[in-house]
Structure formats: structure tokens, C-alpha cells
Structure 1
Amino acid sequence: FSEAQISEYVNASDRLKFPLPNTWFKTVLRAAPQFSQNVSVSGGNEFFRGRVGVRYQKQGGIAPNFDSDVKEIRANTDFKISNRLSASVDINYRNNNWQTPVSEFNVFNTMFHGSLWAVPKYPDGTYGVSAQGNNPLMYAEIAGLSRNIQDYLFGSGKVEWEIIPNLKFSSQYAIRYTAEQNKNYTNAYTVLDYYNPSLVRKTIPRSSLTEIRSLTRETTLNNLLGYSNTFGQHEVKALVGYSEIQNKYNTINAYREDFYNNDVQSIGAGSDNNKNSGGLDSQWGLRSFFGRVNYALADKYLFEANARYDGSSRFTGDKVYSFFPSFSAGWRLSEEKFFEPLRAVVGELKVRGSWGRTGNQAVGLYSYFQTLNSSTYTFGGSVVQGYVQSNLANPNLTWETTAQTDIGLDAQLWNNRLSFTFDYYDKLTDGILLNLPIPTTVGLNAPPQNAGKVGNKGIELGLTYRNKTKSGFSYEIGGNFAQNNNKVIDLAKTGPYISGSDIDPRYIIKEGLPYNAHWGYKTDGLFQTADEIKAYPTLVPNMKPGDVKYVDLNNDGKINSDDMTFIGLTFPRYTFGLNTNFSYKNFTLFTQWQGAADVDTRLSGALAEMGNYEGFTHKIYTNNYWTPERPNARFPRPVKLDLRNVSTSDRMIIDGSYFRMKTIQLSYSLPKGLLERIKAGRATVYVSGTNLLTFSKLNEWNLDPEAESGRATYYPQTSLTTVGLNVQF
């Protein structure tokens, strides 16, 4: 802005024509009520017990046109047919309805990045827009809606038969139906200039509707045969079983444009000129044979062995089935005679160890054979339907496996007032399912391959102290801490694989580095003089004082991608938590905290630069950028529409460590005398809060430490305050 323009804004009396900076957070975001009701009834006798519960929850959105509601009913029944035969039936139905603006991304993207000088809405209802035609309130209110309905029905039946004493057989069959409907309707609308109605500031001339309907049917069968017995000091348990999952999925979709008006949102009301439709059918299955043996001698020496033989329809031939064994052993030292002198202090001490292999089948359903997509081609002037190969097949694809070794220690001291756990683990994942690149001349999508190894090593600690005073005040304080070191070990002689760009986070998968690490330039402050620039290689020509000084890491006299290196972690190296519970008489105060450290967030988009194409500069840059009078400023000089100062580098990396109060709840249990008068068995009044307090360096950027994006284009974590009453009769 020129000085004259600034003066107009400072001295203006018409704040619609010369608005003050608008904080979109205050304009768009709002307090959102949540209503939740749960009612359940249970009862029965020796031969029958049943429980029926209903739930209704309505959650308002923190921005316009974000809301959801859930209606659910569940019934559980248990039957005692005879002394050795019992059965149970469970039925659950749930209906979810939720809606969001069809341009949800634009709502939050422009709320964080939109121009501060646009008027949200004029008195006549006209929306003010930035030079780019953006307004998050407009996107939320009139751009259109995405409406979603999900119906979920689950039913299961189980029979349990005691064949002979200590030998039981059970069989459970379950079926799940999930029907979903999604309607994404984009409104046609036009925004005119408030002062000059003949000037169109933004227009979406064509309405459109995409409608998707899907149905999932999944059945599960579990058969178990279990044996347990005790022979003197020997306790033996054994289990063998068979399970099977069958899943079928069907979806259809349709698209049309140019509806008569925005009120008739039915797919048949759209124009025939531009329409499309499609569909998909798929099915998969998983079959497992498994067994487990437990042995304990005098409750001191513990042993367990497991074996699984799993088969997946996602693989073919001799790759379908794989064997996954595991073993564990424990020694309860506190039960030994030599431990008796310590037992008054250490009530229990156990060391344990385990090793096991598990499998992962998370890959496309039909990667082992070539797939065809429908296509059209013109022959002799006529359009002919045909099919074209879309991918390469990989019949050698098989299970991704993880082998893990654990060593642990459990202890309880001072009559269980203090409990302690420690674990060390070493995990190796082999045959990681990756889509490795193939030459573009092939013209087909690359198939997934078993082509990687990733290692994880770390420790986990848990410590809890509990006590009760003579006055009746009781408390429990528990903490946990974990450290994980992650490294890519092998990529089958390929790689590295780099994704991202200068304006977005750049990640790398490379042998020897943590998985999906941040990748970019190292920097050495800002250039201060023209002579300094002449004596040093630069990223782009015509660098000026105040621009970022990138490090020539390989000393070849050039700044290019060869100078990029590891600049940060995307997964936290340390995670920790704290739980507290204080009780006095009828009052209870509970808190839950969680946090992470040694993790990084890469700023991107408007948050990473000033004077950008998104028409926004974050307030953190105010009076904090380089000028000759501010040589030690935090940020480089502002340069519009230029990547010289915003290329992916360690300057874009922000410490993503945080410590957050996830939950706090204060409750009061009604006294016994009052319960008797209202004929209730138990009643509790409570007030609780979620995400009320966060300590993080990301706070100054208005970024959520639990979100992946450093661009703030997501629905943020909400702070929720709840007041409730729980009554049991």
C-alpha cells in the first residue's frame, strides 16, 4: 500500500469502503453445541439376560453448515439353555447424518490465508471478496453442500458349548451391512460488487451434482475350541481356532450439471449435455487357522506360544498363505524364596520377553493380475466401446511381515501404591508394499512390490502412583513415555524417492534416513550486503540483501537440488502422557494430557511467505522482516510471487512438539440419601472439557500440532465443553 492508501484506511469514516483488517477466525468460527443422550434398560434372570440401549447425539459445527447427528440402538441378549450350553445375540443399528460445505477445503484454506481487507458480508447480504475472489464465509454459506447418510446394521449370534469339563467350543457368526449415500452439490452463484452492482466480483455459472451410493456386506465366522486345566502347580491352557471374513462392496456414481435452480438437487433434474456415471464391484476374503498354548508353573514361570496361518485373496498361488508364529515367556521373581526379604517393599516383580511375526495385507485387491478399464476409440467415424490395460501385474506379491522382539519389566511397590513398567522393542518390517517407479515408456501404472525394509527400535515406560489419606482424599498420578528410532534399511537397490515441491512440504524415503523425512536446503541466515552475494553461490539470479542464504552443502559452487539434505522428522521421536485422578468424598477430578517431542512441521502456502498469491500475510511477519534498518530480523525481505525465499529449507521447519490437555472432568456423585428418595442406584453430575489447553510453538502460527498439514487447510481440533448427568436406576 502507498502512504496515500494507508492514510485513507486510517482516517476513513466509511468502514465498508475502507475496512479495518478482518480476523476471519472471529467471523467464521463460532461456539458449537453438542447434545448427547443415552438411555439403557437391562434385566433378566438365571436363564435370560438382556440389555437395550439407545443413543442420540447432535453435534453442531464450529463453522456454518458443518453439523452431524447420530442415532443408534443396540440390543444384547444372553440365554442359558442348559448347564453346558449357552447362546447370545447382539444387534446394533446406527444412522449417521453429516454435512459440510462442498468446498470444505476452501473454507479453512481461505480462513487462514484469505485477505484481511475483504468485508465478510455487506448489510444487504452481498459478500465481499478478495482480489482472488475468496471469502471463507461465502464458501461456507452459499457454495454448496456435501450431504452424507450412513446406515450401519450389525448382527451376531454366538453359541458356547462345554463339551466336557475344561473343554469348550464356541462358534460365532456375524454380518455387517453398511449403506452410504453422498450428494455433493455445487451451487451456481454470482457475487456482485457492493458499490457497483454491474461489476461481477465472482461467479460460478454452472451448478453440478455428484451422487455416490455404496453398499458393503461383510460376514465373519469364528470357531474356537479351548481347553484349560490345573494339575497341581501346573496350569495349562490351549486354544485352536478358525476364522473367515468375506467382504463384498458395490458402488455406483452419477454426475450432472446445469440444474434448473439450486433448490432441486436430484440427479435426474440435471442437463443431459454433460453427464457421467460409473460403478465398481469388488470382493475380498481372509481365512485364518490359529492356535495358542499357555503354560504356568507355580505362577512363577510363564510361557505362551502362538501360531497363525493366514490366507488372503489379495495374493495368488503359493503367495496366498503365510505362517506367523510368536512366543513369550515371563519370570515372576517376586514369587521366589530368595525374594522374600524384599517383598515388603516390592510386592511384584516380573521380567518378560517375546518374539513374534505379524503380517500386513494392505494392498490393492487385484494387483496380481492385469486389470482393464473401459475406453472408447473412433473407428471409421464411429465411436466403439473397448478396453485398455491399466496396470502391470505382480503375481509374486505377498504378505508384508514384521518381526518384533520385546524385553520388559513389571513392578509393584509399597502395597501397589507405585507400579512401574518398562519395555524395549526391536521391530523389523520386511517386504514393505511399495509402488516403485517404472519407466514412463511402459505407459502403465506401476504394480506394488515387496521392496523395502524399515526398522523401529525404542523404549516405553509407565509409572503410576496411587494413595489415600486418612481424611478420605485419594489420588492417582500416572505417566508414560516412549522413544522410537525409525530408519529405512533397504529399498531393494532403488530410490531415493522424493515427493513434494518448493511451495509444499518435500519428503524423502531413503536408505539410512527416518521414513518420509523432511528434505530440503540448509540455510545460513540472510544476505546482508551485495558484496556477500557476489562472493557466494545463489539459488536464483539477482539475489538481494535480505534474501535467504542457502548452504552449498557439496561445495561445488552451485545451489541446486544436490545440496538438499535431511532437515526434520515427520514422526515424533518421543511421545508422552500424564493422567491424574483426585477424589474427595463425592467429588472426582480427572485429567488426561498427551504430548510429543522431536517432530517437525513444514510451513507451506501463505503461512510460509509474505505478499503471496493467496493475498494474505500472517501477522507474525509484521515488523519482523528484513530491512537495512532491521538486519537481524527473523524473516527475509518480502518478495511477491517469487520462490527465492520460500524454497523448502530448514527455515520452513517449525518445531512441532506439544503438550496438550486432552480431557479434564469434574464430577459429583449424588449422596446415598438423595438417591434413595429418587429411587436411583447411582447418579453423577459432571462437567468436562476437551482440548482446552495446548503448549506448542505452533500456537503462534494457529496450527494444530495433531494435524499433518502445515498449511492449515483442515477442520481444526475443537475445544469441547460438556455438562452432563448420568443416572442409573
Structure 2
Amino acid sequence: MRLLIIMLCISVGCISAANTYAQNTILELNVENQTVESVLNKIEAQTEFMFFYNSKQVDVHRRVSITANKQNVFKILDELFKNTDVAYSVLDKSIILSNKQLLKTENQKKITGKVVDVNGEPIIGATVAVRGATVGTVSDIDGNFVLYVEAGKEVWLDVSYIGYKKQEIKTDGNKPLAITLIENMAMLDEVVVVGYGVQKKVNLTGSVATVSFGKEMNSRPLTNVSSALSGMVPGLNVRQSSGTPGADGASLTLRGASLNGGSPYVLIDGMPGDLNQISPNDIENISVLKDAASAAIYGNKAANGVILITTKSGVSNSGKISFEYNGNVGFSKPTNLFDVISDTPDHMTVINNILKNSGQSARYTTEIEEWREGSKTDPLRYPNTNWWDALIKDNVIQTHQFSARGNNGKISFYTSVNYQDNNGLIPNSSYQSTTFRNNIEYKVNDWLKLGNIMTSMYGKNDPADLGAAFTWFMATTPGMVPQSPDGRYGGAQTVGESGANNLLQIVEWNRGSKEKRRFTTKFFAELTPAKGWKINANYYRDFYSYYESYVVDQQPRWNFQTNTMTFTGVDTSQGYRRQNTEGKADNYNMNVFSSYTKKLKEHEFSLMLGYEQGVDVGKGFSNLRQGLYSPEVPNATASGDLLSGANHNEDAYQSVFSRLNYNLADRYLFELNWRVDGSSRFAEGHRWGHFPSVSLAWRVSEEKFWRSMRKYVENFKLRASYGALGNNNVGLYATKEIYNSANTAFGDKVQAGIVPGGFVNNELTWEKTRVLDIGVDINFLKNFSLSVDFYNKETLNILTSRPISYNNGTSSGPVINGPKVRNRGVEFELNYTGQIAQGLGLQVSLNGALNQNKVTEYQGKDKLIQGGGTPYGYIVEGQPIGKFYIMKVDHIVQSKDEIDAMSADGYRFGLGGIPGPGDFLFSDTYGDKRINENDRVLIGNPQPKFTFGANVGLNYKNIDFNVLFSGVLGWDRYINNQFTSLSAHTVGYLYPKEFLNMYTDEKPSKDYPKVYTNNSKNQVSVGSTWHLHKADYMRIKTIQIGYTLPANISRKIFMDKLRVYANLENFFTITSYPGLDPEIAGDIDYPLLKTASIGINISF
């Protein structure tokens, strides 16, 4: 800002009157034994003067006494620096202090130079210091500087100025230096992408977070964009729910959950999109719009926030085409796996204990010891299979990208090709994709620009049924050979477990492929009919298709003890099955908007008006042919039974939007947004919604009274916003009569007919979210920045299904506008960039968000409605969404006498029956000595209370190091699947190792209860705190070290830059959660991956 003020003076001809203000300004000072710095601050406080100096060259800690009675600044400075080596020069309201240069001696040489910005304008007050010495100066009014150093050797100069990147220059002083400082986009003049435009960060009135994709981000082995956002944005909870190749299964929640779910609205270069369709290497930066003021311009799409992705473009104006290659290869393993019993004798022992706990006889006697001995010499007949080892294979992930970019002043372009190959963690699950992107812009003349953004993507998956593989993971036994040396699949060889599945066979029995294609294109034009007036027009088209074709080829399974088949494979009388599925989507969007900006002295106005419309069309077709004679039949049109289905749907919307900005002297900022949306999902009379927002900001640091503080706090801004956002997240035809086909019996015949498809509510209208946000942005001590936001987000008229009585034939009633949910919290982001030692740079970014989620209105205060997306989760007024409503476990009963004593004391046991030794004793929370439904309690935190992230970077010369952390606190998860249930199957199931410590009559336990056969004891199937676990975690997302070849060497091999790096992704997680991974959506799913990779980045 100081530089801008000085440049403004120069531009309006203030140089000719440089001393006018200084001569006419009269000061009064009475200072006794105070520092020079204190005197300078007093002068700045009384006047509009600003001092520039190098504290290493000007002793501002020297104590002085000075009295001035109605004197100008010249006389005061003469007195202040009398008999010192300090000189001063006055440029209107700027005063530069520097060392008086002594006459050159035989042992000194003179270094001269000029410091300018990228436009060639001189930078006044830039610090020029000799590295490792106390010699230095500042640039003068023309950007020139002079200093003297020891003769006969080269020196390094560090040249710096607030708001610019520091330059390091080596010189021998033989010729004048021309030094150009480049603006630091991380500082005050950073431009941020917002809805339908850009704004300077210092002038933002809303809450916007930005993520820049620098070398560390582009070097990570990222297969999706959501991984790049994890831990980087305060308030954005990124949950990687699966590691499935080719799928970005992450769920993104911004500022708390709502009953209607939903993720932030994603736009890529202004076009609607999703995080799956873009390569992380193509991204320049991401803006996350979090409050109503910044997101309301997108109205009906923005209830859950907005993510704006800007891709790379041609940046240089030199006419030179630059090329870049990024490549890395990584090796992956699961972040965590369950510990399972893979020793078959132990497995048999557990089954015996479960049967005995259930009042049945032991199944295995001599078989246990026989198996133990036999496995030592004949593992084919007596296997001890660890199914994780059988399924998990070496997973290699590699990505390669080649890009070119250029700009000759007329044509700017960026082109890239990205290839990804992931061979999958388990067999038959590989994924390959190729993405092509071309961004081009043509400047026709001074008032017209045309352009096109195009992407094309092709992806192919192997057809393994990954869901079945992990859903059925527990449905097997260690007493089975996955596959024999001659290629035959094994079957269960333990007594009573003939129903066990061969997991390797399951993932390999689908033969075929899944293919997907996507093509998006955007044509745009920008007109500038007059100064300050712009018209933008955009047309966007998105084509997506997928095709899946596979045959189910079930091979026989063998018992290698008897050399007989336990499963014969495909029933030849039924034949083989081939499944074909095809889907297509064709979405278009067009918008046109016009903006006008006018500045009158200190008043700047900006007005934007626009119109948008779009249609999304989807259709699909599937057929299943049964009874094929061979798995080699290539299509489903051959003979056999045919089952088919099809669908077609459309969704349309229209919008009008506007924005008004007012800026008074860069101090007082005002913004008003208004959007009107219409949606085809609602009935006539209810289709249109209005979504306004207003925001204000005060840049306190631009006030006159703040001048003395600018040395410490360069920017201090207060802001506040309030507005409404919309949501139409309801079925496409929820307000229309829908009929489904059905068959019914008339007499002795079956007749085809139709039945109503569900309840209809023609009064449905927009769900709304109202957000109040109060924030502060601070840049201080040159190297630090801090942003803090307090928000209150209330979602009302939530679109949700009303629960009804089963007497109506279903428990799901019509969709209504009803409940209210409130999310209230605070977010912060603290950044530091600077040097902590000579040549050692440090960058630190810390962020966190504390959120309180509460259902404020839903079906009455005393109603408990099951829901919220969690087992035993309920929606209750006054509680967070999905609060667990379960029994509290007091302890594990150790003797029958304990229960007898309680019964004698009047206790009665209803829920789960009477507990015995080894069973849970539930707490009598109601206090009536009756253990029943009334003792359930609302407990736990189904929504994370606190999310956080930290990014630390170090760089020394050509070496860089980066660590990224992320995590959550205050989160509970309920685990109760067949793998962890205390009501277990005994006919072919794996067991966790904890079952070895279960309570038995022979070996009592206070830590692990009795386990029973499936459904044989109601008590263990009751939802309880035993299954509720802390899911807090901290994960080191990335550890990366890189080395960049010195430029003088890389140029000799015809490269502008060559960087190599090594990276660890998701390698370390701190958590007490006993499940597969706290981020995984289900209890058992495709595991998250930890990846070690190496890579190279080449520019030429």
C-alpha cells in the first residue's frame, strides 16, 4: 500500500511539489530520553509522513532528547540526526533514511543499481543489504541505490520490499545492477477468484479460502482433487470414504452437516463439474466460498458452499512456448487392516467357544490337533490362510503429464495430456485413464476476446465386484486354500463351513470391463465496449457416458483333502449370465453477464447483472441375459432369458443474478448480491426462490490513526455478512404423480398394471440456508497473516421425507419442508512465511474449525426419529444429527450371584433378557430398577466437533521439504457389522483376534464378553456403548522432500528447471479407532491407501 501511495503521487505530478507538504506542516515535540524510533512514531502520529529505513543501518534505538515548538520536519530531522551518519530525503509525505556514504577508499568498491517493478516503475524504499555483513541501504525516489563494500570479492545482495518477493543477486560491482521485484501474490494484493469474476483479497467482504497449487501440491501422487483439499481449508471436512481405483469417493462437508446432506457446488473455470473430471496437475488454484455473501451469487446451488477451480493458462507474454513434464511412480498399501484369526486351529477353538456359550456341543475335538500338525507339512490339505495376504497384492500407481503453455500477447493457451495407471490393491481391480485439456484464448482486438476450454477423458476399470469382496470379507474361513498351484480355487475344508466363500474367486469371477467417457467444452467471449464496461457470454456443454459389460464366470471350488468339488461352478442348466449397462448424460449451461466499474476520486462503484439457464438430461439402459451356453458370448442379444430396464430424466433451471460493490478509499467496502432461481423440480407457484446477501468490511489499517501501527500490522480488516442460500435437493419428480408397473392376479391369471409410485406434495418449495458471518483478516509483522471467522448457519424448510405409520404400507411418507438445523462455529487460519536462518526459508499454515451441530426443530421435542445416516442414530430436537440412542454398558457380569442379588433387590431385566456371566449389564439410567427401553440414552458425537490441518514447508538453497497434517477431534462412530458383532455366525466366517480373549466359563474376562451364535441371545444384539468408539485421528497426509537442480546446470542440458522428489502419502495415522480406518464410509470397504512415490518435474 505504501508503494501504491507513492506511485500515485508520481503519476499526478507530485514530484514538482515534493517538499510542499514538508515545508508547510508544523510540529510540536517535547521528548526526553526516548528512542529515535519513538520520535519517528510521534511524527507519523501527528502528520501523514511515513518513514522508510533499514533498521540494520539506522540506529533507531539511540536515545535522544528534543524539543520543537512549531517547527517543520526539516529542522526536527536536522536536530535528530545531528552528528550521526544518517541522511534523509523527503518525497512529499515519504521520508527515506539511509547511511551517509563515505568517500571511496582504496579498500572499497562502489555498487550501484536500480530497483523497479515488473512494469519498470521505480520502487522507493526497497532494502538492499549485503548478505553476511552490516552494510546496506534503501532505494531512493528513482529506485536507485549506492553502497560500498570491501574491494576484491563478489558479494550477495538481498533486495526486498513489502508485498514483493525477495531477490538474491550475486555481483562483483563491475556494472550497474537492474533489479526487478515481482509482486508476492500471497501478500496484500492477491487476486481471488469469486463468483463470476475476481477481486483483490484485501477488498473481499465475504469468507473465501484459497488453495494454491505450487510445486509441493503438484508433486504429490494425487489421483483425485479431494485429497488435495484435505487439511487445507478451515471448516471443510474431507472424508476419503474409499480407496477404490478410479473413484473419488470422498464426502465433503463445509461448516457442518444438514439433514439433506449435500456437498459444495463445484465449478471448473466457471462451468458446473465435479472433482472426478479434472487432473490435479491442471489446477492453478482453488477458491472455497464459505459464507452467504460470497456464495449467494450461485443461489440454488450454493447451500453447502462453492468450490471454484481455476485451471492453468498461458502466463508469459514473451511468445515463447514452455513445456513441462510431471511424472511419478508410487507403491501403495492399505493404511490399516483388521487383525483376523488366520490360524485354523485357533479358528476352530473360537467356534467351539461360541457354540458352548450358546448351550451347544463343541464341533471340533481331534481335528484341532490334527490340523495343527498337518499344516506343518501339507498346507494344501491343512491351510492356515490369511485372507488379507491372499487378496492384497503390490499396488503400483503411476501418473504422467505433459503440458505446453504460451502467450504472445494475442493468443494464450495451455494444453495437457495426463495418463494414470493404478493396477489395484486386489486382483481384477485396475484402472487406467487418459485426460486431455486445451485452454485457449484469442485477443481479437482491444475490445474483444474469444476462447474455448475443452477437456476429454477416458477411463477403464476391471470389473471386480469390489463391494462384494469387502462386504463378504468376513464370510470365509482360514481353512480354505485361495488357489492351488495348478490354478484351482479352494473350498472350505473345515467341518460345518461349506457355505464359506472363496474371496479370491469372488473378485475374479466377473470378466469384462467398465468404461467411461466425458467430454466438456466451453465457448466464451468477453467484450469491452467502453472503459470499465465488460460483457461476458459463456456456453457450456458436458457429455458423459459409461458402458459396462461383463459375464459372471463362476469356476468350481475344491476340497483338496478329498480332491472333490465343493461347488461345481455355473449351473449348466441355468447357463452363464452377461450384464450390460449403459448410461448417458447431456448437460448444457449458458450465461451472459455484464459488469460496469466506475471510479470517482475515492469512490469506486461496480455493478454486475446476469442471466443463466441450463438443462440436465440423463438416460440409461441395462439388460441381463441369462442361460448363455458359454462365457465367451460377447453380447446379451444371444439366446437366453432377457431382463432389461431403461430410464430417462430431465432437470431444468433458470436464474437471474446481480451484484453491487462500493469501495470508499479502500477503507469502507460494501457488497450486495441478489439471485432469483427457478427449478423444474417444484410445482408451478413454488418454483422461484430469492436469495439475497449483504456484506460490509472496514479496512481499519487504512485509517489515518493506524499509520503508526503499520510497521507492525500492515493490514487489519473487519467484515460482516448475512444472506440466504437455496437448495432444491429433492427428487426430480417429487411434485408429480408417478406410477410404477406391477402385476396382479385376476382369477387364475396374472395381469400387468400400474400402481402409484409414492406420495405427492405439490406445496414443496425451496430449502433455505441463512448465514451470518463475522470475520477479521490481519497481516502483521511482515511475515504473518491471520483470518478468523465466527458464523451462524441456519437451514430451514429442509426437504425431507416425513415418517408415517406402517399402517400406510410404508414408513416413508411424502417429502415436506419442515425441519431446521443450526451449525454454529468459529474458524481460523494462521500463516507464516519468512527466513529463520541465513538461506533457510520457513512456511507454516495452521487452520482449524470448531462446529456445533444441532437440530432446532423436527417433529416436536419429545419425538425420536431414527435417521441421520448412522447405526442407532436418531434425529432429536436439541441434539446433533444422528445422535446415538443406545444402552450404556456398566460392566461385564462375572458371576450369577451378582444378578441374583440384583433380582432380590427388585431389579427386573426386560431388554435383552436376563444377563448371565460374561454378558453385559446395562445401566439403569432411568432409575426405576427396570432394565428396558427407558434406559436408552442419547450419547456420543456423530458429527466431528473440531477439524484441523497444518502445512509446514522448509527450503534451503535447492532443497525443499514439506509436511501436511489433517485430522478431526470430538467424533464417535458406531461399529456393529458381522465382523465385530457379538452375535456371530459359525458356518464359515472369519473372526477378529479379539475373539481369542472372549469370556468363557473356563476363562472369565472383564474386557471381552461372551460371543454367541447368530440370534441365539438377544442381549448381545442390543445397541449399546460397547460398539461406540472414538474416531478422533491425526493423519500425516504428506511428507515430501525435493531437490531442484541449479539453474546454471539445468540450462546446460537445455532445461529451465529439473526437480526430483520423494513423497509419502497417508503413511502415519494416530487414532484409537479399532475399525478399518476412521475415514472409511462403511465399517468394511476398499481400504484407504498409503503411498510411497518418487517423481520428476522438468520444464524446458
Q: State whether TM-score is above 0.5.
A: yes
**Equivalent AA in structure 2 for residue 193 of structure 1:** N
Q: Which residue of 1 aligns with 2:416?
A: 53
Deviation larger for 275-284 or 461-470: 461-470
Q: Distance in 2 between matches of 1:430 and 1:185?
A: 48
**Equivalent AA in structure 2 for residue 453 of structure 1:** K
Q: Which residue of 1 aligns with 2:1013?
A: 640
Matches within 5 A, 1:18-167: 19=382, 21-102=384-465, 104-111=466-473, 114-130=476-492, 131=497, 132-141=499-508, 143-145=509-511, 147-167=513-533
**2:256 corresponds to 1:256:** no
Q: Distance in 1 between matches of 2:1019 and 2:550?
A: 39
Deviation larger for 613-622 or 228-237: 613-622
The CA deviation at 1:430 is 0.3
**2:588 corresponds to 1:216:** no
Matches within 5 A, 1:602-617: 602-609=974-981, 612-613=984-985, 615-617=989-991
Classify the secondary structure of the residue corresponding to 2:942. Answer: coil
**Do the aligned residues in 2 keep the contact of 1:567 with 1:649 (CA within 8 Å)?**
no
**Do the aligned residues in 1 keep the contact of 2:913 with 2:1018 (CA within 8 Å)?**
no
Matches within 5 A, 1:69-468: 69-102=432-465, 104-111=466-473, 114-130=476-492, 131=497, 132-141=499-508, 143-145=509-511, 147-201=513-567, 203=569, 205=571, 206=574, 207-269=576-638, 271-272=640-641, 275-377=642-744, 384-415=751-782, 417-443=783-809, 446-468=813-835
Q: Which residue of 2 aligns with 1:715?
A: 1086
**Equivalent AA in structure 1 for residue 921 of structure 2:** K
Q: Distance in 2 between matches of 1:348 and 1:162?
A: 33
Q: Distance in 2 between matches of 1:651 and 1:178?
A: 46
The CA deviation at 1:629 is 5.5
Stretches of structure 2 that go unaligned for 5 or more consecutive residues are 1-348, 350-363
Classify the secondary structure of the residue corresponding to 1:25. Answer: helix
**2:374 corresponds to 1:6:** no
**Equivalent AA in structure 1 for residue 1045 of structure 2:** L
Classify the secondary structure of the residue corresponding to 1:676. Answer: helix
Q: Distance in 2 between matches of 1:114 and 1:248?
A: 43
| Bigger proportion of residues as strand | 1
Q: Distance in 2 between matches of 1:681 and 1:658?
A: 41
| TM-score (structure 1 length as normaliser) | 0.93
Classify the secondary structure of the residue corresponding to 1:319. Answer: coil
Deviation larger for 4-13 or 523-532: 4-13
Matches within 5 A, 1:501-650: 505-534=871-900, 535=902, 536-538=907-909, 539-609=911-981, 612-613=984-985, 615-623=989-997, 625=999, 630-631=1004-1005, 633-641=1006-1014, 642-650=1017-1025
Give the direction of change, closer, same or farther, for the CA distance of 1:338–1:537 in structure 2 (3 Å limit). farther
**Equivalent AA in structure 1 for residue 1087 of structure 2:** P
Classify the secondary structure of the residue corresponding to 2:371. Answer: helix
The CA deviation at 1:241 is 0.8
1:613-669, Cα deviation, whole Å (9 max, x unpaired): 1622211343364667645x3211232323423421111111100000112222221
For 1:498, which of 866, 872, 884 is the aligned residue? 866
Q: Distance in 1 between matches of 2:370 and 2:752?
A: 64
Give the direction of change, closer, same or farther, for the CA distance of 1:214–1:611 in structure 2 (3 Å limit). closer
Give me the CA root mean square deviation.
Answer: 2.4
Q: Which has the higher contact order (CA 8 A, sep 6+)?
A: 2
The CA deviation at 1:694 is 0.7
**Do the aligned residues in 1 keep the contact of 2:463 with 2:550 (CA within 8 Å)?**
no
The CA deviation at 1:304 is 0.9
| TM-score (structure 2 length as normaliser) | 0.63
Q: Which residue of 1 aligns with 2:5?
A: none
The CA deviation at 1:450 is 0.8
Q: Which residue of 1 aligns with 2:138?
A: none
Give the direction of change, closer, same or farther, for the CA distance of 1:439–1:629 in structure 2 (3 Å limit). closer
**Do the aligned residues in 2 keep the contact of 1:461 with 1:482 (CA within 8 Å)?**
yes
**Do the aligned residues in 1 keep the contact of 2:875 with 2:881 (CA within 8 Å)?**
yes
The CA deviation at 1:244 is 0.9
The CA deviation at 1:79 is 1.2
The CA deviation at 1:499 is 5.1
Give the direction of change, closer, same or farther, for the CA distance of 1:44–1:407 in structure 2 (3 Å limit). closer
What is the percent sequence identity of the aligned residues? 27
Q: Distance in 2 between matches of 1:434 and 1:146?
A: 39
**Do the aligned residues in 2 keep the contact of 1:609 with 1:617 (CA within 8 Å)?**
no
The CA deviation at 1:230 is 1.8
Classify the secondary structure of the residue corresponding to 1:435. Answer: strand
**Do the aligned residues in 1 keep the contact of 2:477 with 2:500 (CA within 8 Å)?**
no
Give the direction of change, closer, same or farther, for the CA distance of 1:184–1:395 in structure 2 (3 Å limit). farther
**Equivalent AA in structure 2 for residue 473 of structure 1:** L
Q: Distance in 1 between matches of 2:570 and 2:756?
A: 37
1:75-118, Cα deviation, whole Å (9 max, x unpaired): 2221111210110012211111112412x233223445643333
Stretches of structure 1 that go unaligned for 5 or more consecutive residues are none
The CA deviation at 1:258 is 2.2
Matched residue pairs, number?
Answer: 717
Q: Distance in 1 between matches of 2:736 and 2:1089?
A: 45
Deviation larger for 222-231 or 540-549: 540-549
Q: Distance in 2 between matches of 1:475 and 1:624?
A: 52
Q: Distance in 2 between matches of 1:340 and 1:643?
A: 74
**Do the aligned residues in 2 keep the contact of 1:314 with 1:366 (CA within 8 Å)?**
yes
Deviation larger for 329-338 or 36-45: 36-45
Give the direction of change, closer, same or farther, for the CA distance of 1:55–1:655 in structure 2 (3 Å limit). same
Deviation larger for 183-192 or 79-88: 183-192
1:476-530, Cα deviation, whole Å (9 max, x unpaired): 11111111111111114494222599xx922111112110122211110111221
Q: Distance in 1 between matches of 2:748 and 2:366?
A: 65
Q: Distance in 2 between matches of 1:243 and 1:724?
A: 43
Q: Distance in 1 between matches of 2:998 and 2:807?
A: 50
**Equivalent AA in structure 2 for residue 522 of structure 1:** K
The CA deviation at 1:461 is 1.5
Q: Distance in 1 between matches of 2:393 and 2:380?
A: 26
**Do the aligned residues in 1 keep the contact of 2:476 with 2:500 (CA within 8 Å)?**
no
The CA deviation at 1:201 is 4.6
1:535-590, Cα deviation, whole Å (9 max, x unpaired): 14333345311110112332444333332222322221111111111111111111
Q: Which residue of 2 aligns with 1:655?
A: 1030
Deviation larger for 89-98 or 357-366: 89-98
Q: Distance in 2 between matches of 1:157 and 1:199?
A: 62
**Equivalent AA in structure 2 for residue 126 of structure 1:** R
